[in-house]
Structure 1
Amino acid sequence: MSKTILLTGAGFLVIAVILGAFGAHGLKDKMSPNMMQIYKTGVEYHFYHALGLLLVGALAMQMPSSLINWSAICLIIGILIFSGSLYILTISGIKWLGAITPIGGLSFIAGWILLFAAIWKHFPK
């Protein structure tokens, strides 16, 4: 599973760079400053959590655990829902997508809590 987590993290980083560049060069003049800031927030959280997946994957190699696997799954879901909803909202203008963005945020939080629990369990003292 660690290889899958690492590959997913690396793949999400590639996508984050592409979407960041697309926003900076392709959307800058087509969006309001407010919508551009929302798009940038999506890219920013996309980057943070894709890097987090690399950390989770590296830890999974050292201390395999279902908690770590679930941590990775939650981070992936978070990227897809949080950042994905912000990308689609800003490009399409579909405002109701903002209502599902917090679900992605909760998924990020769950992922980090699960990682915390995995580390706590692995190093009990």
Structure 2
Amino acid sequence: MNKSIVVSGVIIIVLGIVLGAFGAHALKERLEAEQLASFETGVRYVMYHGLAFLILGLAADRLPKLTWTYRLLLIGVVLFSGSIFLLALQPIMGISLKFLGPVTPIGGTLMIVGWVLLLISLLKKG
């Protein structure tokens, strides 16, 4: 078991629950349907990756070289979901954050690379 990865997974899951509740209750009347849907997409990816970290951390003794997989997934989900949250909240904050648009696919790419890296290390393990 890798305690750090498990703990980060639990923290990310809690964050996902809080953000999901915030979106469902505080933002429902304040955002357009498209913005709320984007916010919910960010929440889903936070939850998926929190659960993934929990599983990866618990299975760390049997999984090879998790450090880079974990880093890429963590940075990826922060950039991907974080930029989605901020972009969706633009109307409420009253400022333009369109410059964050390119951050979302960068985060998505990092997540993809992290998952591919895990796949490669699993296939090599054999």
TM-score normalized by structure 1? 0.89
Matching residue's letter, 1:102: P
Can you give the 5+ residue segments of structure 2 that lack an aligned partner in the other structure?
A: 92-96
> Which runs of 5 or more residues in structure 1 are unaligned?
none
Q: What percent identity do the matched residue pairs reach?
A: 39
Alignment match of 2:98 (pick from 90, 95, 99) = 95
Question: Which residue of structure 2 aligns with residue 47 of structure 1?
Answer: 47
**Deviation, structure 1 residue 18:** 0.2
- State the one-letter code of the partner of 2:120: A
- SS at 2:89 equivalent: helix
Using the TM superposition, give the Cα deviation of residue 114 of structure 1 relative to its aligned residue in structure 2, in angstroms. 1.2
Q: Give deviations 1:11-36, integer Å, cap 9, x for gaps.
A: 10000000000000001100011110
The residue type paired with residue 71 of structure 1 is T
SS at match of 1:6: helix
Do residues 79 (structure 1) and 77 (structure 2) align? Answer: yes
The equivalent of 1:107 in structure 2 is: 110
Tell me, in whole angstroms, the C-alpha distance in 2 between the residues paired with 1:42 and 1:101: 10
- What is the CA–CA distance in structure 1 between the aligned matches of 2:18 and 2:39, rounded to whole Å? 13
Matched, 1:18 2:27: no
Tell me the C-alpha RMSD between the 2 structures: 1.4
SS in structure 1 at match of 2:81: helix
Alpha-carbon distance, 1:55 to partner: 2.1
Rounded to whole Å, the distance in 1 between the matches of 2:100 and 2:28 is 21
Count of aligned pairs between the two proteins = 121
**Distance in 2 of aligned mates of 1:91 and 1:61:** 40
For normalisation by structure 2, the TM-score amounts to 0.89
